[in-house]
Amino acid sequence: MKKKKPVVQKRSARKPAARKPQIGKLVIFGVGLIGGSLALALKQKRAVGHVVGVGRTRANLLAARRLGIIDEIATDVAAAVRDADLVLLAVPLAQNASVLAQIAPHLGARTIVTDAGSTKCDIIAQARRHLGANFSRFVPAHPIAGTEKSGAAAAFAALYLDHELIITPEAETDLRAIAKVAAAWRLAGMKINQMHAKAHDRMFALVSHLPHIVAYALVGQVAGYSDARNLMAHTGGGFRDTTRIAGSSPEMWRDVCLSNRDALLQALDDYMAEFERLRGMLAANDDAGLEARFASARAARARWLVRK
């Protein structure tokens, strides 16, 4: 008799369990370049489960859903933030207070709220006023990245690669909330830094907000001449490069300027003093003074570029 071959039972191959995303539900108020790019970066990393978009313009939200930036459009604030892990405020700065007041009664005990605005003292005061006991889970943040374009269509996943995120926590800000927010932006490619909100606002009044005012002012000046069309037809790279950021959202930059008014006024005073120095040299035909001033600025710029 032939011996029967032993029956070998095949073990069913088990699929590895799907990794749970770091952020289950992300809610974005203002799905434009900033909020939309973060959502795309997190989706690319499979670090977010469900993205909800809230905004003023339905056409923009429909575009965001069509582009895969968000998974759901919400019209009810309470439903939007229910069970949210992270709420991001990426609206124009003047809208932050209203959004904070609307979401405050509906925040869960574990929901973290953060923002992406370029001024921090103002939003911290508003969050403290409106969030009450939830204030400890508010993490003020500023991603140092962007373009002059706006809206959901401008968003792209690589926007934040190798850029800096500044977090300006208060003494009572929950350390776990800080870590969660930092981890989200780090996944998008950002390097994390912390500083005091007042130091942040002074810094960016000088290196970001003032340059935007200068760009808008230069275009406004040239456009105000009777022969503006002819002047614009003969502009070169210098005018184009200097005024590129005048293509940014006027609403956004109006809000930035007003929310950082005190620091920006001081920066403008210092800038006008520098202009007066240069004007005095020009009026006095001071060729050596002008050249020395230009050479000093050129050397400072070269040192900055090397450090970057």
Give the DSSP H/E element, type plus range, for residue 72.
strand 72-73
Q: What CA–CA distance (Å, rounded) separates 85 from 217?
A: 42
Give the DSSP H/E element, type plus range, for residue 138.
strand 138-139
| Domains by residue range for the chain, with CATH | 23-195 (3.40.50.720), 200-307 (1.10.3660.10)
Label each residue of 74-118 as H, E or C. CCCHHHHHCCCCEEEECCCHHHHHHHHHHHHHHCCCCCEEEECCC
Q: Which tens digit of pLDDT belongs to each residue from 44-54?
A: 999 999 999 99
pLDDT < 50: residue spans in the chain: 12
pLDDT at site 293? 97
Give the global pTM. 0.85
φ/ψ of residue 130, rounded to 5: -95, -30
Q: Which tens digit of pLDDT belongs to each residue from 245-281?
A: 999 889 889 999 999 999 999 999 999 999 999 999 9
**Locate tokens 């007003």: which residue?**
258
Instruction: Give residues with Cβ within 8 angstroms of 191, minimum separation 6.
Output: 162, 163, 164, 165
Q: Which two tokens stand for residue 69?
A: 């930036």
